[in-house]
Amino acid sequence: MPESDAATTVSRPSRGNLLVKIAASLFLAGCFFWVFRHGGLPLLPAPNTTTHLVWPLLPLQILALLVVITFRTYRWRHLLEPLGGLPIRRMFGISLVGFAYIAFVPFRMGEFARPYMVSRASSITFTQATGTIAAERIIDGLLVSFLLLLGLLTSEHLPQFPDRLGKLPLPVAAIPRATYSALALFTAAFLAMGIFYWARTLARRLTQAVFGWISPRLASFLTEKVERVADGLKFLPSTRSSLPYLRDTLLYWFLCILYTWLALRSCSLDASFSQAIVILGVVGLGILVPSGPGFFGSFQLASYCGLAMFFPEEIVLSRGSLYVFLTYTIQHIVNLLGLLLGLWFLKSPPSQENHL
């Protein structure tokens, strides 16, 4: 079966269960709404909090976010290039549409949108593209965990972390422990990724040994998938691809920190760069938790946890609520615009596109 056909076949069951998953995510979003409503955490800032808004910083904040998305998209080319690459216009289109899927489709099911679209638009297979996405996620997770730990060690926080905000218990004190756990997890995943690529023969043998006794046909199918996912890691030994990817990733996360710092300052939250790193890192790890569409619930909860490490409750519930609302709203407006732009990019005929 061709790889693109296999990807289509794999996606059919998930489409059949899509309504169930959407219903489950909406139920989860409703639970978060009820918790925030009865726990005293505002989803909408009070009207008087807009007086704290520093209007001249808003355009800079939005500009920083647009640059962030551009670098997030552009750096993917370094992972695709060893597999044959894509026309740059098509790569941007697939990325922008894929990011919108990740943002709005529940339970992070949108992660499969980019590999699927790549497999339909090029000779790169679904599992090869999935390998690049897995590598992207592991490297980002490792870097965010490290930055979060660095921010925790260098930032000034409250003498004692609060155990609740409003009427709602908050696991603020658990953030340092969660940081060490996340760093250990992503470090192990990064090492496993390297072993998976360079010890491909061992991975093949293990797959055959584990699944061969169940079904030789299943073992052969999974072995082929293991091989193709490993192909998605071809950038690892190539300094021509890995070093530029690392460079662009570091720049991408620096811009994310700058965006977060500008967003905090635009809401009159006098945060340092180190504090912005912590708040960004807490949100980055927090949205890994299953939540409703648009990361609703986990984004707000993680943002409040990060803010509560540095600011007293009265500030978190006023200026902090303005920050949470604005960052959440602006990011999703930009994602929607990115979706429209991505669809427009994908309309262009392949003959009019320039390859990477």
Low-confidence ranges of the chain (pLDDT < 70): 1-22, 107, 222, 225-228, 290-291, 348-356
CA distances (Å), origin 244, targets 76, 92, 99 = 10, 18, 22
pLDDT at 17: 59
Predicted local distance difference test score (pLDDT) of residue 228: 67
Q: Are 95 and 73 in contact (CB under 8 A)?
A: yes
CA gap 335, 343 in Å, rounded? 12
CA distance 236 to 226: 16
Query: Identity (one letter) of the amino acid at 173?
Result: A
- How far apart CA 74 and CA 249 sit, in angstroms, is 10
Q: Which two tokens stand for residue 39?
A: 């726990």
User: What are the structure tokens assigned to 151, written together?
Assistant: 């921010």
Whole-angstrom Cα distance, residue 266 to residue 283?
Answer: 18
Whole-angstrom Cα distance, residue 322 to residue 308? 14
Using DSSP's 3-state secondary structure scheme, residue 238 falls into coil
**Segment 184-228, tens digit of pLDDT:** 989 988 887 887 788 777 777 777 777 777 777 777 776 776 666
Strand duo 164-165 + 168-169: pairing:
antiparallel
**pTM for this predicted structure:** 0.85
The pLDDT, as a whole number, for residue 9 is 40
Instruction: Return d(Cα 73, Cα 92) in angstroms, integer.
Output: 6
| 124 DSSP assignment | S
Query: pLDDT tens digits, residue range 259-278?
Result: 999 999 999 999 999 999 99
